[in-house]
Structure 1
């Protein structure tokens, strides 16, 4: 395996460095990009935070959309490989947990190092992914969803911002709708499943399907709502740095 270099990759908003003993690769939710982690520090207790930038959004808006979660996971293996030269973890929120999980399977199949732990936040297990309420929404309903989300972040969305957000969300939800995994395939790393106590989208019971995806599956309940992970609250920081 090739060790990390400073080669620029579009998959990372900044090239991972070589000064940290560990890394955490962060996967955003549907309709979002790496900026979902912009409020996170670049370093958490010696762990370098490496947000993953999916194609078809933000600074990769001109890149073709990934199409399916399977294609996304396939495409991620090569850009990740140089950076698997030290202990690392995956953190994935909401629908981002599905391509993160599929990526772990592909890394293992190629004999590459797999994460020390896979953190999944606010997302039912892959075989239950079709429960996502957004998958049954019309375009006007998705537009209202984007508007509400942007306002919740303290920004009044412009029409062009809404148009762009809806375009990305429509493509991402199409990928989510096309995803099918009927039988769990286990990963060879522990899975830590996070539930947000004030999450109105996902109940704790909705997450129990993850029990079939690893030999070690732990459930943790954190204070906050569905999108509060974006602010990297102290309770979350303490939890996700505990694997080191």
Structure 2
């Protein structure tokens, strides 16, 4: 799996599509890596230029410290993305990635005068829907138990102690950042928001997913799927169809 990447390591392009009229930036879940979105990149190219975000603390960035503050996370990622928003750009984030996509969008709009064409918020309650969670305070076994419950990590990784030792610091950092994150009900973006949610997700209720609507001054739509937190795995074709239709409509309008 060979990918183009930018000098600071944040961006992976598995299927570069330089002629595409639109870009999609994909942000992984807590503990996730850019390669999680390889199938999305493969499916959407060459119509869409897909950028997959690689967070510090994992894979080839495993020696870099992870972020424990969501706002610092968003500041750093926004700086890395600015050179890439030279054409209409959408953001797709799953779980923690949805929160990060929202905060990056706020910064692009506020600090750079750039409004993404759409934010796809997947598998996450709205920014102002707070739940007290303390996964980041658990011991290593407790974090692994959380990962198993949500079924978001490859079983081979969960069973390989050496790999686990490498990735657990990054996972703990991510959980620290997202579990301590707060947003005010009045925090909004101008970008349209599309929400994707699992109907039996133990971390996001339908009401919490619907409350994303209060965080945009643009258009809003929501799509529910059978399944839990990682419904994406079972409904990849349907999710890709929604993404493609929304982006195609945007490109046509442009």
- TM-score when scaled to structure 2? 0.82
Tell me how far apart the structure 2 counterparts of residues 149 and 165 of structure 1 sit (CA, whole Å): 17
1:222–1:236 CA contact under 8 A, matched in 2 = no
Secondary structure in 2 matching 1:124:
coil
| CA spacing shift, 1:81–1:232, aligned 2, 3 Å | farther
In structure 2, which of residues 214, 217, 222 is the aligned counterpart of residue 219 of structure 1?
222
Cα deviation, 1:55-102, whole Å, max 9, x if unaligned, reads 121211112222311111111222211211111110000111111111
1:199 paired residue number: 201
Instruction: Sort the Cα spacing of 1:141 and 1:34 in 2 relative to 1 into closer, same or farther, 3 A.
Output: same
Q: Deviations over 1:84-136 (max 9, x none)?
A: 11111100001111111111111111233221110001101112243557457
Q: Please name the residue that 2:251 is paired with.
A: none
3-state SS of paired residue (1:25): strand
Where does the alignment leave 5 or more consecutive residues of structure 1 unmatched? none
Q: Aligned-pair RMSD on alpha carbons?
A: 2.7
Q: What is the match of residue 175 of structure 2?
A: 173
- Aligned residue in 2 for 1:37: 37
- In the TM superposition, residue 9 of structure 1 has moved relative to its aligned partner by 4.1
For structure 2, the 5+ residue unaligned runs are 249-254
After the TM superposition, which residues 96-115 of structure 1 pair with which residues of structure 2 at under 5 Å, given as runs? 96-115=97-116
Taking a change above 3 Å as real, the CA distance of residues 217 and 138 of structure 1, as seen in their structure-2 partners, is farther
Alignment-derived partner of residue 20 in structure 1 = 20
Give 1:185's aligned residue.
187
Provide the residue aligned with 1:52 in structure 2: 53
Q: Does 1:121 align with 2:96?
A: no
* Cα contact 1:125–1:210 (8 A) shared by 2: yes
Asked if the contact 1:39–1:231 (Cα under 8 Å) also holds between the matched residues in 2, the reply is no
Q: 2:243 aligns with which of 232, 240, 243?
A: 240
Q: Provide the secondary structure at the position in 2 that maps to 1:77.
A: helix
* Separation (CA, whole Å) in 1 of partners of 2:123 and 2:151: 19
Matched, 1:161 2:159: no
Cα distance in 2 for partners of 1:125, 1:151 equals: 20
Q: Distance in 1 between matches of 2:67 and 2:8?
A: 16
When residues 164 and 129 of structure 1 are mapped into structure 2, their CA distance, relative to the original with a 3 A threshold, is farther
> Which deviates more from structure 2 when the two are superposed, residues 200-209 or residues 52-61?
200-209
CA distance in 2 between counterparts of 1:110 and 1:58 reads 31
Q: Give the structure-1-normalised TM-score.
A: 0.85
| Number of matched pairs | 240
Distance in 1, matches of 2:170 and 2:5, equals: 29
